[in-house]
Amino acid sequence: MKRQKSFTEEKPTLYLVATPIGNLDELTPRAIAVLKQVDVIAAEDTRNTRKLLSHFDIHTKLIAHHQYNENDSAQGLLRLLEQGNHIALVSDAGYPLISDPGQCLTSKVIEAGYPVVPVSGANAMLNALVASGLPTQSFLFYGFLKPKDSLQIQELEKLKDYPQTLLFYEAPHRIQKTLQNMLAVFGNREMCLARELTKRYEEFIRGTIQEVLEVADSCRGEMVLVVKGAQECPKKEIDPSMLNQKINEYISYGLSSKEAIKKVAKENGCSKNELYRQYHENLS
């Protein structure tokens, strides 16, 4: 067990700092203070982050930490912590680790015994969820679906029975195909397409998948898809005498009672053991 008290730790610390997803005014005062105070900022794209730092007059040393150098970079950052440096990890926009690099580094830092402290801020997925009009109490964030059609359909098939509100990130050049696949697998559910969040052209398109599909091809910018979860189907009330009759019918065709019960249970979505008990009680 590892126990961390974030505001009383004296060890070198890794801060996970959320950055604006579009509107620079959403960088919090605490995030600005942390970015100024740490010794090193590890960024997904140093060019993007340099613009942000320049806007807030932050001159902290900047190094690259992205998906292509994540393992090597994590070892280097761990050495910096061992040397007594405090580090802030940032992605291009929003929270690090949420469909962005950082998981490898965070795991290694925790394993090495150093504190990992989140610094709150903007997150596109949560912004889209709360403004979608869909249920927010229980949700599942999936991130990016696989771009290949067949693999994407496999992923959606695994998700189609989840009752939770489902959230995905998607790029504009793939939106049409993704919505077509969702319509085919999920059916015509309620959804919301949120794009360009916190920016000048922020837009929420709320409706059915079919309705959103009709306009999605003209949409640009980074997108979040919020899709209503599966609705639970009410259980059918099945007449026990009808089940017994069906079992006897299969027995008359030559099946054993055990085989007939198994077949009827599967056809009607009921418990094989319960049906077995009920059938033999009826015989006695």
H-helix segments, the chain:
29-37, 46-55, 70-82, 103-111, 124-131, 149-159, 175-186, 209-216, 240-252, 257-268, 272-283
Q: How wide is the angle at C-alpha 225 spanned by C-alphas 152 and 181, nearest 5°?
A: 30
Task: Write out pLDDT tens, residues 191-214.
Answer: 999 999 999 999 999 999 999 999
Backbone angles phi, psi at 63, to 5 degrees: -135, 160
pTM of the model: 0.78
Task: Write out pLDDT tens, residues 24-64.
Answer: 999 999 999 999 999 999 999 999 999 999 999 999 999 99
Letter for the amino acid at 84?
G
Long-range contacts of 180-185 (CB under 8 A, 24+ apart): 180/213, 181/149, 181/152, 181/153, 181/156, 182/156, 182/209, 182/225, 182/227, 183/209, 183/210, 183/213, 184/153, 185/153, 185/156, 185/157, 185/160
258 band by pLDDT with thresholds 50, 70 and 90: confident
Q: How far apart (Å, rounded) are the C-alpha atoms in residues 139 and 129? A: 9
